[in-house]
Amino acid sequence: MISKKMQEAINAQINAEMWSAYLYLSMSMDAADKGFAGSAHWFARQFSEEQEHAEKLAKYLQSQSAKVLLAPIAAVKTQWASVKEMFAETLEHEQKVTAMIHELCKLAQTESDFATANMLQWFVNEQVEEEETARGILGAFEMVEGEKAGTYLLDQKLGAR
């Protein structure tokens, strides 16, 4: 059994993961509108991944006989100046998510909630990967900036995710 406070914090994280999913779906739609089919595919995959994160947390709550409460998902931005800007925002967003996960870890530590702390380790590692990936793609977009052929090839590469 986990504390009421921890239940609420995990439910809030479920909402944050669903908001992330919604954000990346929106980026996918805008990337497709801009003619970046590969990036649109990459963000669609990210949309699915974020839903999996939410599900993982929800299943954990249920395994602890805690109630999953699905709160409304706030609106997201629908347009970006460029695909590069989407990846810059992705990195910024993932850094915020990392901070949220670390807050959950701190709470688990304070409460000597070893089971939750253990479950959260997966998310700690995942965030390292999420940030590294976003940083790498952003760097690649910066490298090919202003070059049509390079941008095209990079978009194609993202389509292979």
The smaller minimum CB distance to ligand FEO, of residues 40 and 101, is found at: 101
Report the nearest approach of ligand FEO to the CB of residue 35 (Å): 25
* Cβ pair 80, 89 in contact under 8 A: yes
Chain position whose Cβ is nearest to ligand FEO:
53
The smaller minimum CB distance to ligand FEO, of residues 97 and 107, is found at: 97
Give me the half-sphere count of Cα atoms (radius 13 Å) on the Cβ side of residue 47: 14
The smaller minimum CB distance to ligand FEO, of residues 22 and 152, is found at: 22
Report the nearest approach of ligand FEO to the CB of residue 17 (Å): 5
| Helix or strand holding residue 78 (H, E) | none
Amino acid at position 23, single letter = L
Report the nearest approach of ligand FEO to the CB of residue 66 (Å): 20
Distance CA(5)–CA(11), nearest Å, equals 10
Distance CA(33)–CA(159), nearest Å, equals 15
Binding positions for ligand FEO, rule: CB under 6 A? 17, 20, 50, 53, 94, 97, 130
